[in-house]
Structure 1
Amino acid sequence: QVRFSLGGGNPNASDKSKARGLALKLNSKTDNWEMVVLNTEINFSKNPKEFWEFFAMKVPKNGKVDTKNIQKRTQQVASFRNYEAYLAKMGITSSVANTMYHSIHTFFVKDSKTQEMLPARFKFVPTNGVSYLNQDELKTKDDNFLESDAKAKLAKKPIEYKMVLVFANPNDVTNDTTALWSGEHKELEVGTLRVKKYDGTDCNGDVFMPGVLPSGVGEPQDPLFDLRNGTYVITFGRRQ
């Protein structure tokens, strides 16, 4: 089961926003794996305090959002500032079929030969490549173009992604979701995600828990991973 989404909590948000997500449930007779991945390589906060402030400062007070304070805090907090700069360089993809998704967290995967737990992030790379809309193309799109585009594509053939593990280098930060890895990394393609059909929006009532991991995959060691699991439980309850 796969759920495509936009960032934030507004169910009527425009598809022209940059932040996008993919949630996935992989189930077998012996193991389960649930993933929540984003189209950004990094997150906007490195700890629960920053996570809370990032959203709290955007809550309206007396009917108004304090935009000056948001701008001020975005520049003062390194995590917010770096994330803002990252988004500014990122384009808006033309389709979920042309969007790359990242784990953000660093997981630990077992080497079947040595039994060593290796730090790695993973990504879903679209087999048709990543493509972005220019400003003229964006103007021609409506606010729900991602859904209609996905329906049209799936009516013809599956949407495919290659799942790739990206192994950490010795100096890479593995306990901070705001840390952007740079340079060359050893990669390993481990499978193909093939989305075959559109089943509507029923999955919006489901919860996808990043803490559901299969044997051979260890939890991230950053302070946000457990927070995400707890937060998803709360939001799931409020959607019922």
Structure 2
Amino acid sequence: MIEDTSETVLAKRAVNRIEEIAGTFPGYRRAHAKGELYEATFTPTGEATPFTIASHLRDSEVEAIVRFSNISPNPSTADVLAAVKGLSVQFLLNNGDVANLVSITIPIFVTKSPQTFFDILNTVKSFKDGKPHFKDMVKLFTSYPESRAAFQMIRKLKNPKSYATGRYYAVHAFYLVNELGLRTPVKFEWEPEAGIETLSIKESASLPSDFLETEMIDRLEREEVRFRLHIIIGKQDDPTDDPTKEWPQDRQRLEAGVLRIKAKATVTKDNFIFDPTVLPTGIECSDDEILPFRKNTYAVSYERRKKGE
């Protein structure tokens, strides 16, 4: 049972609102409901060694569980209708612990405030369709100027031809911590080795509802799917508490490792929680208020789906 605090109450209200808007689908996540798990291996390059004591970013190859998904709370939503796609990775660390990295196909989040996120849910009646309607966009732009950039990106976002050809961003800032205790602000991105490929409107119109899963099955029969993990090194003035803002493009980038996705996972039940605040020693959360809010909403969602609600 989740103890009621001001933070968890808001998380429960947010999940309730998503259910009111999109419907309730027992046993499924309240966002990114439609997704599949895959088995993978992550091999570090060692380039992050001066910045962190996290072993999986230094010298330890680890197994991982990967989940690709689309943003919709409705598991029957066609892939082409849910604009944003997700890539969640759970690193299975050699000491028995896990670490998560959660990313989506736009580089920023819709708000920096949990309360504003809840207010947006009350504004966007078309949330269940994957993309907000124009009239809802006007309301959002007027009421929540911090959200304009993200919703403009969502409106313009093209579907990837494959989960394997999307670029995924962790959106939040984190800190890497080294042996001396030095904390370095960073962001994470996954770059597809297959290159970035998107669909035209004409191509999207003719695709089946579950084309991304089918395409992934076919692709994995031919080859591994690989992503390179890039770490962006922030500077002192780069915001660590505001996921609605991108950092400048000229920031130093490290290639931290390679994720090799090998096959669909053999686990039959998806009990994984990809909580972005579950981190190993050597990586810490920033002061971004959305991070603990996500932790709480994920916990509420998991509790309900575990009960079959």
Give me the TM-score of the superposition, normalised by structure 1: 0.90
Q: Which residue of 1 aligns with 2:74?
A: 10
Amino acid at match of 1:21: G
Helix, strand or coil: the match of 1:12? coil
Residue 82 of structure 1 deviates from its aligned partner by: 1.9
Q: Shift in Å at residue 10 of structure 1? A: 0.9
Contact 1:15 1:143 in 2 (8 A): yes
Residue in structure 2 matched with residue 64 of structure 1 by the alignment: none
Consecutive unaligned residues in structure 2, runs of 5 or more: 1-64, 127-132
Alignment of 1:225-240 (within 5 A): 225-240=291-306
Structure-1 separation of matches of 2:249 and 2:259: 26
1:95-119: CA deviations, max 9, x gaps? 010011111110001245x541100
Say whether the 8 Å CA contact 2:125–2:136 is kept in structure 1.
no
Q: Which residue of 1 aligns with 2:257?
A: 191
2:159 matches 1:95:
no
Quote the Cα distance in structure 2 between the aligned partners of 1:68 and 1:24.
33
Instruction: Say which is worse superposed, 158-167 or 14-23, in terms of deviation.
Output: 14-23
Q: Could you tell me whether the CA contact under 8 Å between 1:205 and 1:239 is conserved in 2?
A: no
The amino acid of 1:227's aligned partner reads: F
Counterpart in 2 of 1:106? 173
Deviates more, 1:44-53 or 1:131-140: 131-140
Pairwise CA RMSD? 2.1
Shift of 1:136: 2.0
Preserved CA contact (<8 Å) 1:110 1:216:
yes
Q: Which residue number in structure 1 is paired with residue 187 of structure 2? A: 121
Query: Contact 2:191/2:228 (CA < 8 Å) preserved in 1?
Result: yes
Q: In the alignment, what sits opposite 1:27?
A: 92
Q: 1:204 to 1:5 in 2, by over 3 A?
A: farther
Q: List per-residue Cα deviations over 1:139-162 (Å, max 9, x = no partner).
A: 221111100000001111111000
Q: How many pairs are equivalent?
A: 234
Unpaired stretches in structure 1, ≥5 consecutive residues: 61-66
- Mean Cα deviation higher: 97-106 or 170-179: 170-179
Q: 2:281 aligns with which of 211, 215, 226?
A: 215
Equivalent residue runs for 1:132-171 within 5 Å:
132-171=198-237
1:54 is aligned to 2:120: yes
| Alpha-carbon distance in structure 1 between the residues aligned to 2:278 and 2:77 | 28
Change (3 A) 1:68 1:121: closer
Q: Which residue of 1 aligns with 2:150?
A: 83
Q: Matched residues in 2 for 1:151 and 1:38: separation?
A: 21
Alignment check: 8 A CA contact 2:123 2:140 kept: no
TM-score normalised by structure 2 residue count: 0.70
Letter in 2 for 1:224: I
**Aligned partners of 1:4 and 1:23 also within 8 Å:** yes
Cα gap change, 1:144/1:123 in structure 2, threshold over 3 Å: closer, same or farther? same
Deviation at residue 181 of structure 1 after TM alignment:
1.8
Q: Distance in 2 between matches of 1:42 and 1:210?
A: 15
State the one-letter code of the partner of 1:109: L
128-137 or 96-105, which deviates more: 128-137
Moved more, 150-159 or 200-209: 200-209
